[in-house]
Amino acid sequence: MRESLEKLKSSRFKFILALAGIFLLIAVRCFQLQILQREKYLRLAERNRTLVFPVKAPRGLITDREGRVLAETRASFSLSFVRGLSRDPDSALSEVSGILSIPVQELRHRLDNYRDFPRLLPVVIAENLNMAQISRLEAIRDKFPEFLVEAEPMRFYPFGELAAHVVGYVGEANGREVKALGLKPGALVGKKGVERSYDAVLRGKDGALYLLRDSMGNPIKIIKRTPPHPGRKLVLALDLDIQKWAREELQGKSGAVVILSPKTGEVLAMVSSPSFEPNLMSSRFAGRAKLKIMTDPGKPLFNRAIQGTYPIGSIFKLAMAVAALKKGVVSPREKIFCPGFFPFGGRNFRCWRAGGHGWEDLAHAIRDSCNVYFYKMGDRLGIENIVDVVKDFPFGRKTGIDLPGEKEGILPSPQWKRKHLGVGWYPGETISLSIGQGYFTATPLQVATFVAAIGNRGWYPVPHVIKGEKTEKVSMEISPWIFEAVIKGMRLVVKEGTGRAASVPGISVCGKTGTAQVVKLEKSKKIKPHSLFAAIAPCDNPEISIFVLVEHGGAGGETAAPVAGRLLRRILGEKIKGN
């Protein structure tokens, strides 16, 4: 009996001890939850009873140098769908399909693009709503709380195609961009041009709208607002008048025009033709229209000014002249005889003039674009000396312009050929390179910067599209007298040679024409060469550096030089003299 009583007391003690332990654990957990982790669970509870909607920041203005608006933000209304508030998504989408005149399948597809994102994040499914649509959507709001009509700033480009390649356009952020930039689904980001390269400053910072909701998840009142911070305004160096004139000159043609300030590097005009409509490309849902632009065989989205790489023909002779003078293989006054051909390596390299030019010094060889003169310069220099000088110009590498997608072009060398083609360099290729043929290619921007370097007598600015940006200078260890000798020949090109159509009454223009042979697209049909012209003006203290490329436009003096002449007469006459 005593033993049973002892066992009973022991059991009670253990039970009481166990119960005390349980209460102690509960107390410790309560202390942890209510005291130590109070703030955490308050935040979670608050999150459960509030909805947070982004208030989109207006994107910053983009203007030309005179303040004319190239990109602005306009008021618009969009419709978003909050999946976490929907009891019957199919029924809800069917209801709005008729209001929006958009097939249910298309609306569902737009939602599916964000199926991996949080269900309480609004997803834009329609934009640019009209007042009739907004009224009908408000009428079904109680029945379908998952729909949210939002005032949304939309991007608009008043001048459309005029400066599309420079300004660019915005588009809906893809999944990768949403995650990388910490954006909300449906956010618009820069996709091309200035809109892309300066997206972070243009985008601004979104605000937020905090809504209290009931136990059913329905919003009942606004409890807090965080105002958005608009994006920064950008003033471009572009002059809209010059841009318009250049675009008019390329209307109906494929090509590019680049016009720089040689001293500052500011891009006064940059035209790539054909162009595209940025307002269409900025629409979230203009799929067919976008596809038409993207599949256009004329490649309107392709910025020929910085992405197109072309042989530049006889314009390269200016670089050869600088190299020959720097390396001391010729003097400006030395005359070389041109019989119309240059025998080398068992073949005759022809001059463009069958009978030859006779005796030519440097300036007249540039004026006449004498092939034989520069064949001999190439033979005297050798490929290593040519590359050693020409690499100091903006060839074979990016200029560093503040636009996305710039290409490097090709400055060929034995090392380049071995790396990219796996074969050695042949001596005859040096002769071809001497007149701008062979593997050499450059972008229109590189050529405009190259002639700026000649006009500045040995330095060039890094080109940029933002007005007033600090000029970065690239200096070359080449004596100014060398550039003076080359400029003398460039004066003669415009005064007496193939560039006469680029002359401006009362103002000295120094230039060089180029005719770039291209591969035949069809064996049965001859394709005209590209027409090129590069110039600076005035010669002694340049205010303009210009390069014109007309694809398949024929000889440089035939098409490109007249285009440059008309532009220079308007710029130097109406703009510079008018200031």
Listed in sequence order, the residues at least 6 apart from 187 whose beta carbon sits closer than 8 Å to its beta carbon are: 56, 172, 173, 178, 181
Determine the 3-state secondary structure of 423 from DSSP. coil
d(CA 568, CA 573) in angstroms, rounded, equals: 8
How many CB atoms within 10 Å of residue 280? Answer: 16
- The 3 state secondary structure assigned to 447-494 is HHHHHHHHHCCCEEECCECECCCCCCEEECCCCHHHHHHHHHHHHHHH
d(CA 104, CA 391) in angstroms, rounded, equals: 59
Q: What is the pLDDT of residue 36?
A: 60
Of 1.20.120.1200, 1.10.1520.10, 1.10.3720.10, 3.40.710.10, which CATH number belongs to 240-285+307-576? 3.40.710.10
Listed in sequence order, the residues at least 6 apart from 537 whose beta carbon sits closer than 8 Å to its beta carbon are: 504, 507, 508, 509, 510, 543, 544, 546, 568, 572
How many CB atoms within 10 Å of residue 570? Answer: 16
Mutual angle of helices 371-381 and 383-390, in 10-degree steps: 100
Determine the 3-state secondary structure of 397 from DSSP. coil
* Eight-class DSSP state of 551: T
Answer whether 572's CB lies under 8 Å from 544's CB: yes
What dihedral angle (degrees, nearest 10) is formed by the CA atoms of 86, 87, 88, 93?
-20
Q: What is the pLDDT of residue 575?
A: 60
How many CB atoms within 10 Å of residue 76? Answer: 15
* pLDDT tens track for 325-336: 999 999 999 999
Q: Which residues pair with 73 in a beta bridge?
A: 155
Q: Give the residue from 209, 242, 243 showing the smallest Cα distance to 223.
A: 209
d(CA 76, CA 22) in angstroms, rounded, equals: 61
The domains of the chain are located at 51-235, 240-285+307-576
d(CA 326, CA 363) in angstroms, rounded, equals: 16
Q: What is the pLDDT of residue 540?
A: 94
- Is residue 314 annotated as a catalytic residue, yes or no? yes
Cα 501–chain centre separation: 32
Mean pLDDT per 10-residue interval, the chain, length 579 residues: 58 66 68 60 52 78 97 87 84 86 85 77 82 86 83 88 97 80 79 96 84 59 79 97 98 97 97 96 80 92 97 97 98 97 93 94 97 97 97 96 97 96 96 95 98 97 95 94 98 96 96 83 65 97 97 95 97 71
Q: Which helix (H) or strand (E) holds 513?
A: strand 510-516
CA atoms within 13 A on the CB side of 130: 4
For the chain, the maximum distance between any two Cα atoms, rounded to a whole number of angstroms, is 140
Q: What is the pLDDT of residue 465?
A: 98
Answer whether 416's CB lies under 8 Å from 226's CB: no
Q: Which helix (H) or strand (E) holds 111?
A: helix 104-112
The backbone torsions φ and ψ at residue 34, rounded to the nearest 5 degrees and listed phi first, read -90, -25
Q: Rounded to two decimals, what is the model's pTM?
A: 0.84
Burial environment of residue 72 by CB neighbours within 10 A (0 to 12, 13 to 18, 19 or more): middle
Determine the number of helices (DSSP H) and then strands (DSSP E) in the chain.
22, 21
Residue with tokens 């006064």: 268
**Which residue among 80, 261, 283, 314 is the active-site one?**
314
Answer whether 446's CB lies under 8 Å from 462's CB: no
What Cα–Cα distance (Å) separates residue 103 from each residue in 36, 99, 100, 124, 336?
A: 53, 10, 9, 15, 76
Listed in sequence order, the residues at least 6 apart from 366 whose beta carbon sits closer than 8 Å to its beta carbon are: 317, 318, 321, 486, 489, 490, 492, 493, 512
Residue with tokens 């933000």: 73
Residue with tokens 């356009």: 169
Through-space distance between the first and last CA atoms of the chain, rounded to whole angstroms: 121
Q: What angle do CA 487, 490, 493 make, to 5 degrees?
A: 160
Query: What fold characterizes domain 51-235?
Result: Penicillin-binding protein 2a (Domain 2) (3.90.1310)
